[in-house]
């Protein structure tokens, strides 16, 4: 029996950009996700036979080209997480979106990440008006849809934790798309492949590593069994900081407000191993790009 596909994706947001999301300003770029988290994740994925998608911020491509090349060399996909990680991507003017998309893609490809065809918006902040700039910049898919009403309380919680709640209020409070399964998202006569974050059918609970911190092993495996039994593809996002220890790696202590950061490194790595391992047992773990339909004329 053919197993459904799953994509484990990693948002490689550096510590400083996480802190910007919580309202801190004037921070220097922080290398920890590239020097410590990415190598740990590559080792874990290799041990489990998982090929993943890494969404990398284009700003960091040149400075951390060695990490970008290592990701691609290990058989994973390098995709764009924008150029500068703007707080509210959907609110950018069209020219601003084009710059974020074109320059991030170019920087990642020059760094040795291979052909970049995928995008995930910072904070899952995306809308139908962003489809045309995405296609014009040469992308083939988006992975920003978060189809659950729980997006709104997540935004409110972020605002409560932030030093700049007004910035959080600029984010779209509702999902860009409500469709649970991969689909073609059409707007103004054009369409792009969308890979939404997986949510359960009725309650629309997100199957997302941030939520995994609040879920026991039995419940998590039961959710995965449901997706596998229905033959439903899985999209499981995590953050690179999920492979960092606040104390062990000397992470800026202000990031303790981020879910899971207060846990010890050994416990976090064990949770990653059990979670990703459970996915690998039930699904064929492939990058998003490997799940795209062949391009018309490819190989001709």
3-state SS, residue 62: coil
Q: From residue 7, how far is each of 53, 129, 244, 261 by CA, in Å?
A: 7, 26, 21, 23
Q: Decide: pTM greater than 0.85.
A: yes
Residue 120, C-beta contacts closer than 8 angstroms, at least 6 positions apart = 9, 11, 55, 79, 80, 81, 142, 143, 144, 237
- Over the chain, what is the mean pLDDT? 96
pLDDT for 170 equals 92
**Which residue in 3, 6, 1, 4 sits closest to 237, CA to CA?**
6
Residue 77, φ and ψ in degrees, nearest 5: -95, 135
Task: Give me the percent of the chain exceeding a pLDDT of 70.
Answer: 98
**Average pLDDT score over residue span 209-214:** 96
| pLDDT tens column, 56-73 | 999 999 999 999 999 999
More confident residue, 256 or 294: 256
> Would you say residue 296 has pLDDT above 80?
no
Q: What is the mean pLDDT of residues 166-187?
A: 93
Q: Which of 77, 159, 173, 53 is nearest to 124 (CA)?
A: 173
Confirm if 38 and 56 have CB atoms less than 8 A apart: no
Cβ neighbors of 156 (< 8 A, separation 6 or more) are none
> Using one digit for the tens of pLDDT, what is the confidence trace for 77-118?
999 999 999 999 999 999 999 999 999 999 999 999 999 999
Neighbours of 84 (CB within 10 A): 17
Q: Is the model's pLDDT at 266 over the cut of 70? A: yes
Q: Is the pLDDT of residue 6 over 90?
A: yes
Q: What is the pLDDT of residue 299?
A: 45
Provide the residue ranges of all domains of the chain, joining segments of one domain with +: 5-291
CATH tag, 5-291: 3.20.20.370
Output the pLDDT for position 287.
Answer: 99
Instruction: State the Cα–Cα distance between residues 189 and 49, nearest whole angstrom.
Output: 39
């Amino acid at each position: 029996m053919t197993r459904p596909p799953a994509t484990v994706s990693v948002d490689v947001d550096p510590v400083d950009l996480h802190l910007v999301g919580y309202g801190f300003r004037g921070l220097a770029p922080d290398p920890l996700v590239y020097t410590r988290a990415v190598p740990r994740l590559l080792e874990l994925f290799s041990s489990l036979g998982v090929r993943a998608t890494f969404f990398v911020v284009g700003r960091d491509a040149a400075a951390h080209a060695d990490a970008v090349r290592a990701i691609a060399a290990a058989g994973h996909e390098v995709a764009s997480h924008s150029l500068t990680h703007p707080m509210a991507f959907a609110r950018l003017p069209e020219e601003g979106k084009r710059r974020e998309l074109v320059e991030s893609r170019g920087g990642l490809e020059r760094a040795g990440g291979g052909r970049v065809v995928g995008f995930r918006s910072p904070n899952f902040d995306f809308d139908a008006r962003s489809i045309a700039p995405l296609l014009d910049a040469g992308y083939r898919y988006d992975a920003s849809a978060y189809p659950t009403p729980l997006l709104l309380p997540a935004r409110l919680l972020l605002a409560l934790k932030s030093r700049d709640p007004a910035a959080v209020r600029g984010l779209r409070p509702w999902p860009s798309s409500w469709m649970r399964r991969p689909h073609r998202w059409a707007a103004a006569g054009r369409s792009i492949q969308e890979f939404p974050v997986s949510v359960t059918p009725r309650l629309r609970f997100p199957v997302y590593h941030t939520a995994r911190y609040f879920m026991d092993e039995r419940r998590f495996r039961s959710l995965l069994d449901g997706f596998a039994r229905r033959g439903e593809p899985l999209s499981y996002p995590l953050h690179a900081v999920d492979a960092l220890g606040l104390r062990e790696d000397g992470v800026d202590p202000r990031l303790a407000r981020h879910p899971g950061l207060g846990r010890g490194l050994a416990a976090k790595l064990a949770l990653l191993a059990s979670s990703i391992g459970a996915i690998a047992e039930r699904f064929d773990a492939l990058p998003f790009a490997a799940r795209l339909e062949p391009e018309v004329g490819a190989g001709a």
